Amino acid sequence: MTAPTSKCDVLIVGAGPAGMMLATWMARMGITTRIVDKRGSKIYAGQADGLQLRSLEIFDSFGFADRAVKEANHLLEFCMWNPGEDGLIRRSDRVPDVPVGLSRFTEIVLHQGRIERFFLDHIKKHSKGCLNVERGVLPESLHIADTCADHSADNYPITVQLRHLSEEEAKPAQSKASGVSDGLFRSNLAEDDTDDLIGRSREKEGQTEVVQAKYMVGCDGAHSWTRRQLGFQLEGEPTDYIWGVLDIIPLTNFPDIRMRCAVHSATSGSLMVIPRENKLVRLYIQLTEIKPDASGRADRSQITPDTIIRAAQKILAPYTLAYEYCDWWTAYQIGQRVGTDFSYQERVFLAGDAVHTHSPKAGQGMNVSMQDSYNLGWKIGMVVKGLAKPEILKTYQSERRRIAKDLIAFDHKFSRLFSGRPAKDVMDAEGVSMEEFKAAFLKGNLFASGLSVDYGTSMLVAKPGDATEEGDGTDVSSSHSEKAVGKQDLATNVRLGMRFPSYKVLNQSDARPWEFQPKLKSDGRFRIIVFAGDVVEEKQQARLQAFCAKLTASAFLAKHLHKDIHVLTVHSSKRVEVELLRDFPDVLHPYDEKTGWDYDSVYVDDESYHEGFADAYKGYGVSRESGCVVVARPDQYVGHIDSLDEEGYAGVETYFRGVFVG
Amino acid sequence: MTAPTSKCDVLIVGAGPAGMMLATWMARMGITTRIVDKRGSKIYAGQADGLQLRSLEIFDSFGFADRAVKEANHLLEFCMWNPGEDGLIRRSDRVPDVPVGLSRFTEIVLHQGRIERFFLDHIKKHSKGCLNVERGVLPESLHIADTCADHSADNYPITVQLRHLSEEEAKPAQSKASGVSDGLFRSNLAEDDTDDLIGRSREKEGQTEVVQAKYMVGCDGAHSWTRRQLGFQLEGEPTDYIWGVLDIIPLTNFPDIRMRCAVHSATSGSLMVIPRENKLVRLYIQLTEIKPDASGRADRSQITPDTIIRAAQKILAPYTLAYEYCDWWTAYQIGQRVGTDFSYQERVFLAGDAVHTHSPKAGQGMNVSMQDSYNLGWKIGMVVKGLAKPEILKTYQSERRRIAKDLIAFDHKFSRLFSGRPAKDVMDAEGVSMEEFKAAFLKGNLFASGLSVDYGTSMLVAKPGDATEEGDGTDVSSSHSEKAVGKQDLATNVRLGMRFPSYKVLNQSDARPWEFQPKLKSDGRFRIIVFAGDVVEEKQQARLQAFCAKLTASAFLAKHLHKDIHVLTVHSSKRVEVELLRDFPDVLHPYDEKTGWDYDSVYVDDESYHEGFADAYKGYGVSRESGCVVVARPDQYVGHIDSLDEEGYAGVETYFRGVFVG
């Protein structure tokens, strides 16, 4: 009996946050996609839950950040508790949980099941119901043809055999020790069960199919089956630190139970408090009494909610801690590993836990994983559509493997400081200095926010420098004869390689204030942001007209307006002194015969009636007189900056010639 | 054949905004309710669309304002266009659409169908799916027993026979003149079709049932069947002004098409622009060429989208106006009427268009209608539950008929100024002065926001004065032996009889900033708001303890805590200098054996990390040292203000003895 065969552009293996994010891009860009997951049901509790600033900005670019913000618990303050001279814990510091002034968001926590729900709703809406997660489906063979370099539209070099499990087979086994659902089956203390699942399922017949794909992305977790097929490794070592996790409604007199806290006890280990939605609190609890065996791995059978809460009680003493309701629990052993390769010939990619594993306490796992596939998705989409050169796919490994290495280094340092015993005094060389811990937290905070990401030079980021040095070593320099180099000094706070920041601006046509960054929607389009300057001035108006005339007349770019390249404008004149139809060339607010003028593309940096004056030009570091032009990638990262004139137009076109097919 | 008979606490006739709001209260308070509507389908386009500030605050108290704010178009600026010396229209003024600093919201527009959707979702969630709008169902007889005064729980004095229509019967007839759906069937240019519907349906059998109810509310529109059964009148007269309404995507070069505009042409009549969501614009267009006939009513057959757009083109000339897409249209003749009675023996009530009709251009219709039943719902709910004295039901007519009269006076003046020809010069006595129009708009703006509502003294509002004079003439003074009189000077900006204003405060337990007003949720509970003052000061701490001791020990009030009376606290000490469990009596943050301490009831007026310092005590006009106590009704209107001490407690108890059964 031959298995049925079908084709798709992109096959995604794994429907956790990394896979969901990739599917979201595919839905937004209209790419034929399948997404499969070996589990038979989605996650309803536990798992990762911290959403960092950049993740919320990304959600906002899709349009569903508000759902997360509304339902989540918000973390505002981080409190550090350490032993005093009497050996009892006391609060030594309070600091803002995220640096002030970085973003319109704060860190929030919400369980992964809700976040997956937001993705699913968005995918359903934008794929018109065509793209659905296929659960209880797993790959069992992968074959890659040697025609990978041929990117013509009818080449499907990837062949995957998929196996459909029955509902019973796809259900994860739960620990017998308690009635509460646990996450041990996904913990690094457990063996992977993929081969088991395949083995059990193979005993039955007629449940396989063959899929031929142009691209494949393994978002299949730390035990990644895809990674194993490719023969790629995770490099790094586990540590001896073993931690338990409890999601409970606490009964306690500990005063900071609704704050994010790091508690270092004198001799009983450390604990982190993450207050969550619906009165829940997540506790990360160091299990100092459980040690790894000779194989280096902790004995799972010793770990129960009961042993974990007892460890927590010791750490928090003299404060009391108990619970009536436990929502979820798990345990893990800290280790930091990063993948050797993030892609096989730019045809099969790995993202998320498949290429980096680390401790969960810094709230990075889900965030960095989603940001991996947020980086990758639009690149695949543009190549599948025949718009962008396939070589842009190389920037995925260059950009994201570099981030993964930084993450692992950060986590290594933070875990050591957090799991270590506090120093008794300055002579206690084996103990951890609480000053050092605080300094590491504050420095790590910016990294953890996701806003310090700074991609190196490449065909997608027109900054000077060496492409191999600024990334992970992959060569991602432009193959185009001429290399664009952005003029950073024209927009000093819009950094080449970093995400486009946000300030409030007003819609020119209706005076409504908007955060500007979410206007750079994640819809698969590049953006030219015209900082038009003071358009009331004759000379500046002439520069604007000259730039727009070149843009409209361009044989190379005009055909991509506004389908693949969207144009947004922010000017710095007084709102009431200019008019949309009189003072701005048509290309900045195109006319449609059915729906009239576009009133949503021209903005002004001016005083609002109810929300003050954001002074966005100052924030962006752009001259209010002469303005400039910024090119943002579809993921809001800044690709190019140039002057608002004919010469600047030439730079913009050079940038796009390095990216677009022609 | 006998019709089946059933009982319910409350029967609502009409599922427009007024009926939906009432049903929402009933769902929130767990009252057995039925809501019927003669139409077979809900509204998908057109109808009222402006949401004023107070309506958004009310939505926020239920928890769904964010949905409206996200989907709606926001109105920020109001532009006035008048003839210049050359007779051509030009912009003479720009003013903020709503007064600055009044509310966290601005005026928004969104079509009624979406607003009804938010209500339906909320009703479904809170009634656990038990309360559904029954469409195509209309009342055909009403009988009221003479036992109305007996409010015992088993008395159902109202008997209504309901008729269930077939789908075909319940569908409104549409004008034949265009392919676009119109609202003429609900316009005041059309006859009511209720009797027709009943007549046609009576020809069939077995489609009636009998409902016995404790209370009934007619939210059944300007032609209210319920009002006719009660024999009550609408008083007032129609005018000669006839207006058309078009919802279109405009193709135009008029510069302010995305602003709210009032355009007075020299001789062709007036026009109002209301920009809406999804590129739509609503135009209210004066039809100067269509006159009422001898009966005083305009001929419907002369009115089509074509005649309306031609009138608009004349008014807007020399600017061009056309459209490819029309979403909806209608026409109406301005008239102002107000009902003689809002209730029959506090058993059958009328709300919304059933008791006040006026022109739609000030965006008041849906808002005042919803606010009618927002005023009524919790009162019925508390009486049905046996908590409150039935006499509180009298305050509905006293409070809302007064508002309706103010509305009609406002609309009368505004309509005359808007429909009149602009004065050519100061000698043109018949023309309307544009200065006068602007002054009326600015004054009307505060009224239109809904925030100037100031209910008179009654058993629910402990302010001095005469209850009949301050309302519509109904006697609503307290029957309790002792009358509470609030101490207005302890909270100078928390006005007795007005809605409790909002400032940002921080949760004491997690430092998160919140608007405080939405913490006064519409869940059917009264609220005691403890402005605790500077609790670090020993003397003030003692006053807080004394007040809380009386509250906890009270035989009258303690049994209602926190089920019927919720306690919220805002203090003015530094957040980091106090602790919830140490500095605040338990009654302010009660303990539950399953879920621990309540961390959501104590707030602080202090600096936030990311959102500044609101200085709420200053905003509320309360002393930072000594604080005070405010009682808010379940609808957020201020009922009583007293001092934070034993004497103040006595005042609070006196207030509640006037309201609660005992």
Boundary (domain end) residue, out of B453, B471, B501: B453
Instruction: Report pLDDT for B173.
Output: 64
Identify which of B66, B596, B609 has the shortest CB distance to residue A66. B66
Instruction: Report pLDDT for B190.
Output: 67
B281 shares a domain with B261 = yes
Catalytic: which of B60, B182, B247, B284? B284
CATH number, domain of A100, equals 3.30.9.10
Q: Which amino acid is at A273?
A: V
Q: Give a yes or no: residue A469 inside a domain.
A: no
Using alpha carbons, list the distances in angstroms from residue A634 to A305, A366, A478, A525. Answer: 45, 21, 18, 5
Phi/psi class of residue A345: alpha, beta or left (left: φ > 0; alpha: ψ in -120 to 50)? Answer: left
CATH number, domain of B138, equals 3.50.50.60
**Is it the case that residue B45 has pLDDT exceeding 60?**
no
- Of A116, A120, A165, give the one whose Cα is nearest residue A139: A165
Enclosing domain of residue A599: 488-658
For chain B, say whether A596 makes contact (Cβ under 8 Å): yes
The CA-CA-CA angle for residues B417, B419, B424, to 5°, reads 70
Catalytic: which of A9, A49, A220, A472? A49
Instruction: Report pLDDT for B175.
Output: 54
Mutate one of A75, A259, A595 to test the B interface: name it (highest B CB count within 10 A).
A595
CB A52 within 8 A of CB A35: no
Q: Give a yes or no: residue B584 inside a domain.
A: yes
Cβ <8 Å between A510 and B252: no
Cβ <8 Å between B609 and A579: no
For B625-654, the DSSP string reads TT-EEEEE-TTSBEEEEE-SSHHHHHHHHH
Instruction: Report pLDDT for A185.
Output: 61
Show the tokens assigned to B8. Answer: 């319910």
**Is it the case that residue A45 has pLDDT exceeding 60?**
no
Active site residue A590: no
- Total number of domains constituting chain A: 3
Cβ <8 Å between B74 and A512: yes
Q: Model confidence over B130-160: pLDDT tens digits?
A: 999 999 999 999 999 999 999 899 999 999 9
Residues of A in contact with B574 (CB under 8 A): none
Q: Chain A, 499-528: which have a CB under 8 Å from a chain B CB? A: 507, 509-512
DSSP B607: -
Q: How far apart are CA A48 and CA A359, in angstroms?
A: 11
**Is it the case that residue B186 has pLDDT exceeding 70?**
no
Question: Which residue carries 């070589």 as its tokens?
Answer: A391
Active site residue A49: yes
B140 shares a domain with B227 = yes
CB A159 within 8 A of CB A140: no
Q: B32 CB contacts (<8 Å, ≥6 apart)?
A: B7, B8, B9, B10
**Mean pLDDT over each residue of chain B, to the nearest integer:** 92
Q: How far apart are CA A399 and CA A404, in angstroms?
A: 9
For chain A, say whether B442 makes contact (Cβ under 8 Å): no
Cβ <8 Å between A595 and B279: yes
Helix (H) or strand (E) holding B655: helix B646-657
Across A576-598, average pLDDT: 97
B599 to chain A, closest Cα gap in Å = 8
Q: Give a yes or no: residue A50 inside a domain.
A: yes
Question: Which residue carries 């958004």 as its tokens?
Answer: B56
Which of A198-212, B104-118, B434-448 is the least confident region?
A198-212
The distance in angstroms from the start CA to the end CA of chain B is 46
Across A427-453, average pLDDT: 88
Q: Give a yes or no: residue B298 inside a domain.
A: yes
Identify which of A258, A579, A610 has the shortest CB distance to residue B100. A610
CB A207 within 8 A of CB A164: yes
Q: Give a yes or no: residue A636 inside a domain.
A: yes
Q: Where are the alpha helices (DSSP H) in B145-278?
A: 194-202, 225-230
* Residue A385: strand pairing partners: none
CB A388 within 8 A of CB A525: no
Q: How far apart are CA A528 and CA A569, in angstroms?
A: 8
A148 shares a domain with A20 = yes
A510 shares a domain with A499 = yes
Show the tokens assigned to A542. Answer: 């002439």
**A with B: how many residue pairs have Cβ under 8 Å apart?**
103
The distance in angstroms from the start CA to the end CA of chain A is 46
A279 shares a domain with A170 = no
CATH number, domain of A647, equals 3.40.30.20
- Considering chain A, what percentage of its residues have pLDDT values greater than 70? 95
- Is residue A84 classed as helix, strand or coil in its secondary structure? coil
ipTM of the modeled complex: 0.93
Q: Which amino acid is at A499?
A: R
Q: A549 CB contacts (<8 Å, ≥6 apart)?
A: A585
Across B495-523, average pLDDT: 98
Q: A160 CB contacts (<8 Å, ≥6 apart)?
A: A11, A139, A141, A142, A143, A210, A211, A212, A213, A216
Q: Which amino acid is at B67?
A: R
- Of A145, A177, A175, A174, give the one whose Cα is nearest residue A159: A145
- Work out the pLDDT band at A48, boundaries 50, 70, 90: low
Phi and psi at residue A206, to the nearest 5°: 65, 25
Higher pLDDT, B240 or A640: A640
Phi/psi class of residue B82: alpha, beta or left (left: φ > 0; alpha: ψ in -120 to 50)? Answer: beta
Biggest CA-to-CA distance, chain A: 79
Catalytic: which of B276, B282, B337, B401? B276
Cβ <8 Å between A609 and B77: yes
For chain A, say whether B492 makes contact (Cβ under 8 Å): no
Q: Give a yes or no: residue B560 inside a domain.
A: yes
Across A604-625, average pLDDT: 97
- Of B518, B491, B487, give the one whose Cα is nearest residue B502: B518
Residues of A in contact with B73 (CB under 8 A): 510
**Is it the case that residue A147 has pLDDT exceeding 70?**
yes
Q: How far apart are CA B7 and CA A661, in angstroms?
A: 72
Residues of B in contact with A250 (CB under 8 A): 596
- Is residue A468 classed as helix, strand or coil in its secondary structure? helix
Helix (H) or strand (E) holding A132: none
Residues of A in contact with B257 (CB under 8 A): 509, 599
Active site residue A454: no
Q: A359 CB contacts (<8 Å, ≥6 apart)?
A: A241, A243, A332, A334, A336, A411, A414, A415
- Considering chain B, what percentage of its residues have pLDDT values greater than 90? 74
Q: Which amino acid is at B156?
A: Y
- Residue B623 exposed, middle or buried by CB count within 10 Å (0-12, 13-18, 19+): middle
Higher pLDDT, A467 or B19: B19
A387 shares a domain with A303 = no
A161 shares a domain with A67 = yes
Q: Model confidence over A628-662: pLDDT tens digits?
A: 999 999 999 999 999 999 999 999 999 999 999 97
A323 shares a domain with A435 = yes
* Residue B271: strand pairing partners: B263, B285
Q: Give a yes or no: residue B262 inside a domain.
A: yes
Which of A327-336, A579-588, B542-551 is the least confident region?
A327-336
Instruction: Report pLDDT for A46.
Output: 58
Instruction: Report pLDDT for B440.
Output: 86
Q: Model confidence over A11-42: pLDDT tens digits?
A: 999 999 999 999 999 999 999 999 999 988 76
A168 shares a domain with A45 = yes
Instruction: Report pLDDT for A526.
Output: 98
**Is it the case that residue B498 has pLDDT exceeding 80?**
yes
- Residue B16 exposed, middle or buried by CB count within 10 Å (0-12, 13-18, 19+): buried
Show the tokens assigned to B482. Answer: 């002792």
**Residues, chain B:** 662
B59 shares a domain with B173 = yes
Q: Give a yes or no: residue B403 inside a domain.
A: no
- Of A46, A35, A40, A111, give the one whose Cα is nearest residue A72: A111
For chain B, say whether A325 makes contact (Cβ under 8 Å): yes
B165 shares a domain with B52 = yes
Q: B439 CB contacts (<8 Å, ≥6 apart)?
A: none
* Residue A330: strand pairing partners: A245
Active site residue A215: no
- Work out the pLDDT band at A195, boundaries 50, 70, 90: confident
Q: B481 CB contacts (<8 Å, ≥6 apart)?
A: none
| Strand positions, DSSP E, A411-541 | 504-507, 513-515, 526-533
Residues of A in contact with B595 (CB under 8 A): 249, 279, 324-325
B242 shares a domain with B298 = yes
